[in-house]
Amino acid sequence: MGKYLRLLRVHHYLKNGLIFLPLLFSGDLFQWNLLGQTMIGYLSFCLIASSIYIYNDIQDIEKDKMHPIKKKRPIATGEISLKKAIIIGLLLFLAAIGCQTIGYLLFHNQGFIVSTVIMLGYFIMNLGYSKGLKNVPIIDVMILALGFVLRVLYGGAITNTEISSWLFLTVLSICLFAGFGKRRNEMIKNKTTSRKVLQAYTKSFLDKSMYLFLSLALVFYSLWCTNGLQFIENNLLTYSILFVIFIVLKYALTIEQDSYGDPIDVILQDKLLMIVSVIYIVYMVVAIYA
């Protein structure tokens, strides 16, 4: 069972939590109909994301064998055959579409078509990434960032919730910060043999880009806190900026150390970062709903 969980990269499902952001920030988190739609949407996105992970692992099997971390993936080690991986990936894709359809039949959500298009757009974009776009500098990081942004847009579409421009810009900037940080650490560890695009980057460029988007993220988040949620009449959101400053700086400090820069691995391996992130989420729920 463990090898299949690693094949699906279940721990990366944490990324899909972004789907809940639009509902959380809309003030309707405890509208059970909308929450049910979002939960089914979350499951659909997890399934289609896993199908992409499998496809990417199949494409990169030879390169993964040369990577100190990725060589432990079940396809690279031979624990799961290519034929079996292809079948599992196809079944996951079909299950994602089926789950999305079940959600519509249960809740008749108005955003069914838009959310389905976004989910399929995510799938197609990542197919392009696996087929060669990951070797094009700048575009490779943009695709990584857009993958996170599409999760937020999907969450807004499935519940027909409007997304603030400031929230969109905040998520995009944070994801670009994390994306350039990931490439920076891959370069430092000299893994050019497993990722061709690193030959096109310089450490100086990645450093500057990383902290440029970190600065923009803090500015956009501050603007969102003061202008993004007009139905909140207190200053509690403004105080949340302190949490976000700590989180992004702690994240930056962690990837400046001995890390490969993968966002999920960084969060899961840093207990203090995890604790403060959970406190931030609880604080935001209280600030919005109390």
Task: Give yes or no for residue 191 having a pLDDT over 80.
Answer: no
Phi-psi region of 109 (alpha: psi -120 to 50; beta: other; left: phi over 0): beta
**pLDDT value of position 230:** 67
Q: Which residue, among 110, 144, 167, 165, has the nearest Cα to 262 in the 3D structure?
A: 144
Contact (Cβ atoms closer than 8 angstroms) between residue 175 and residue 148: yes
Cα 181 to Cα 187: distance, rounded to the nearest angstrom: 10
Contact (Cβ atoms closer than 8 angstroms) between residue 157 and residue 118: yes
Per-residue pLDDT tens over the stretch 203-226:
899 999 999 999 999 999 999 998
**pLDDT value of position 71:** 79
- Cα separations (Å) of 23 from 105, 153, 220? 20, 11, 19
**pLDDT value of position 62:** 79
Confidence of residue 43 (pLDDT cuts 50, 70, 90): very high
Q: Is the pTM of this model over 0.75?
A: yes
Token duo for residue 170? 């905040």
Task: Give yes or no for residue 69 having a pLDDT over 80.
Answer: no
Cα 163 to Cα 113: distance, rounded to the nearest angstrom: 17
The domains of the chain are located at 1-140, 164-290
Least trusted range by pLDDT, from 138-147, 193-202, 236-245, 278-287: 193-202
Give percent above pLDDT 90 in the chain.
57
Token duo for residue 191? 């893994």
CATH code given to domain 1-140: 1.10.357
The average pLDDT across 242-267 equals 85
Token duo for residue 18? 């972004």
**pLDDT value of position 239:** 92
Give how far the C-alpha of residue 63 lies from the chain's centroid of Cα atoms, to the nearest Å: 23
Per-residue pLDDT tens over the stretch 89-107:
999 999 999 999 999 898 8
Crossing angle (nearest 10°) for helices 203-227 and 236-256: 170
